[in-house]
Amino acid sequence: MDVASGYLLALFRILSWAGVTAFLYREAGPVAFGIFALLRGTISILSYTSLGLGPALVHAIAKANARDAIPAEPLSADTTVAPPGIVALGYANTAAEPVPAGNHEQAVITTGLHVARLLTAFAFAGAIGMALATESYFASREVNAGWILLATLALGCGVATRIAGEPASAILQVRGLLALDNFILAGAEVCWLLVVVLIPLRQIDSVAGAWALCCLGTTVTRVVAVTRLVPDFETGGPKDPAIMRSLLRFGGGITLAQTADFLYAPCSYLIIQSLLGPSEVATYAPLVQIDSALLLVVAGIAGAVFPRAARSFAAGNLRELRHLYVRGTLTSLALLIAAGIATMLLGAFALRLWLGDVSPQTLMLLPLLLVHTVIGGASGVGRAVLLGMGRVRVFMKSSLIAGSANVVLGATLAGPVGWGLKGIVLATIIVVVARCAIWMPWYVLKMTNDENRLTNQAQNPKD
């Protein structure tokens, strides 16, 4: 159900965006459509203000649940009562001091709510700043900037209200209600489409306002779901500075790793524009869209694996972690290979149907693109397992190193070597194979190969 709900959410996001933009294009014209797409893409930068709070809370709550499962009194002087994963992470206290059950999760949730409030306030401030900057930008270009100001502000407020709902989303995921959380998000997408089309809304500020209200509804629904469906949910008590630092450190690492995405397609666009010219950008752009579309094929798998990986690691169940990784990766690989074969067979027809006249070079580069799309897409499960294990620093470093290598290698092959667009794609293949097909399987299997690894770490901290 978790995987199916993830695919349903991805489908509804595509349908809502396609439906709203198509309606806006027909009713308000191509200029309004273009401006709205630009604003939506620009305001997405505010999503980084969440600092990865959602995944950080999932990981922290899973660890807190395992810690709360430790008996108040030790079984014996030489018996470890905590799950090995908790001992190895330094979360278990095997001394005689009792630990009241439930206090650790409550402390994490209380601190997480405090962090969410701070980040939400920061996001609202960022929304106001971006709205004013956007208004100034368009006013200098003789465009009616009043409704652009309102549209940008509404989109920014929508992002901020979603950040406020991250703690509730994390609680639902850890408690095995990921499917419900996905259904809530999917429902918001459907509501946005229906409101825009049925009222109807023909101005981008009103379309953006409808999206902001749907985001608010998402947060409220998540909170209601937690209070109604999680009977032992509690908040209150003092905020823990150590937990706050841990959340920000974990989430900040995820955010920094996500910025490595800029080192792939966006930087490739800049390299192509600088070294090869705008006509080559037009040749490369359809390939990026195909890559993004194919990754949706496995979008639901990694999302379902992450909370389960966090719970399994907190319980010290390395066998389950390894099973999640191997099965999820093989499933993703099989799906992407099938999708890649279909793309090879129908790609030329689909591109001509979509764009009309298609560059022969685009069709020639399509098989090369599919290589790194299949390999890179199948590594999404490895990413989920690494984050579930708390290996955020390792993941961050690997992302930044690979992204930087992609930029350097792409610029070298496209420019000095003289391979042009083929060099850009080959650079990505080399980097993706090195990181996703060689390093990641080796590292994940190494971390999950020894059932006694975590216990040994607890007994020999220097190892």
Phi and psi, residue 238, nearest 5°:
-75, 155
Max distance between CA atoms of the chain, in angstroms, equals 78
Is the CB of residue 263 less than 8 Å from the CB of residue 404? yes
Place of tokens 């990641």: 440
* pLDDT at position 190: 92
Q: Among 171-175, 176-180, 277-281, 404-408, which stretch is predicted with the lowest mean pLDDT?
A: 277-281
Contacts of 152 (CB under 8 A, 6+ apart): 39, 42, 43, 127, 130, 131, 134, 135, 208
Phi and psi, residue 191, nearest 5°:
-60, -40
* pLDDT at position 242: 84
Q: What is the pLDDT of residues 42-82, one digit of tens each?
A: 777 788 777 788 788 887 877 777 665 554 444 333 433 34
Q: Which of 64, 71, 66, 158 minimizes the C-alpha distance to 111?
A: 64
127/119 Cα distance (integer angstroms): 12
Contacts of 123 (CB under 8 A, 6+ apart): 46, 49, 50, 156, 159, 160, 163
Highest mean pLDDT of the ranges 134-138, 209-213, 311-315, 359-363 = 209-213
* pLDDT at position 460: 44
| Tokens at 437, concatenated | 């097909």
* pLDDT at position 235: 64
419/411 Cα distance (integer angstroms): 10
- For the cut 70, the answer to whether the pLDDT of residue 263 exceeds it is yes
Is the CB of residue 375 less than 8 Å from the CB of residue 437? yes
Contacts of 417 (CB under 8 A, 6+ apart): 423
58/44 Cα distance (integer angstroms): 22
Mean pLDDT calculated for residue range 129-148: 72
- For the cut 80, the answer to whether the pLDDT of residue 317 exceeds it is yes
* pLDDT at position 160: 92
Q: What is the pLDDT of residues 381-427, one digit of tens each?
A: 998 898 888 888 888 899 899 999 999 999 999 888 889 889 999 99
Contacts of 112 (CB under 8 A, 6+ apart): 53, 57, 60, 61, 166, 167, 170, 243, 247
Highest mean pLDDT of the ranges 101-105, 185-189, 349-353, 455-459 = 185-189
- For the cut 80, the answer to whether the pLDDT of residue 92 exceeds it is no
* pLDDT at position 75: 39
- Output 194 or 240, whichever has higher pLDDT: 194
* pLDDT at position 195: 92
- For the cut 50, the answer to whether the pLDDT of residue 16 exceeds it is yes
324/312 Cα distance (integer angstroms): 10
* pLDDT at position 73: 44
Going from N- to C-terminal start, the domains of the chain cover 2-64+101-241, 264-459
* pLDDT at position 109: 83
* pLDDT at position 333: 93
Highest mean pLDDT of the ranges 29-38, 58-67, 355-364, 419-428 = 419-428
- For the cut 50, the answer to whether the pLDDT of residue 246 exceeds it is yes
Q: How confident is the model at residue 332 (pLDDT cuts 50, 70, 90)?
A: very high
| Dihedral sign for Cα atoms in the order 261, 152, 293, 173 | positive
Q: What is the mean pLDDT of the chain?
A: 80
* pLDDT at position 211: 92
* pLDDT at position 157: 93
Q: How confident is the model at residue 375 (pLDDT cuts 50, 70, 90)?
A: very high
Is the CB of residue 377 less than 8 Å from the CB of residue 370? no
